[in-house]
Structure 1
Amino acid sequence: MNKLLVITVLVALLALSAESFRVPRQAAAEEEEGTLARITDTVKSYYEQSVNTASNYLESIKGMKLEEKAKNLFEETTKAVSTYTGILQDQLYHIFYPQN
């Protein structure tokens, strides 16, 4: 959703900065960019920087091997719970069916 919004804003800015259909005059080489072009370039650079930062964060999270740690934690918890469940079943069995 956020990417779609950013792309829409960029397309709108690019559309506004588009030249008209008239043939432009020969401009001097030292002429500065328009204000809208500078704003567009700034927004593009901020967008690229934020995408790069997010990508770097994702890569660093993958480097921590969190998925493997979560899987190991789940397996250890499952083993512990199954052990205590077995003990509870055994106790209930002996409560309902006592041996003389």
Structure 2
Amino acid sequence: MSTRTRPILTFLLLLLLASAAQAARPRFRREESPSLLSKVQSQIFDYWESAKTKAQELYEKVHIPRIDENLRHVYDKGSEAMTTYTGILTDQILHMLKGEQ
């Protein structure tokens, strides 16, 4: 065996051994348990649903037509303002990103 082929054969032998060791290694499956993020997310959604249910129950108990009208008015004005300010903010961000072209 020449000195030139010895490193190549050594490399091939090591490559073969490494692949055999990789194949023989036992594969452990992680238990399928919910992650911390999904647990926290689930708790938040549960809290949100219970808060919505309680607010709906309270609203149905104290249903006064005048308050209902005021709530609609406040919602309309608030959503109108949010639409305007969101448009302004979007324009400002686009202007900052594009620059003066």
* TM-score category, normalised to shorter length: 0.3 to 0.5
TM-score (norm 1): 0.39
TM-score (norm 2): 0.38
Whose RCO is larger (CA < 8 A, sep 6+)? 1
Higher percent of residues as helix: 2
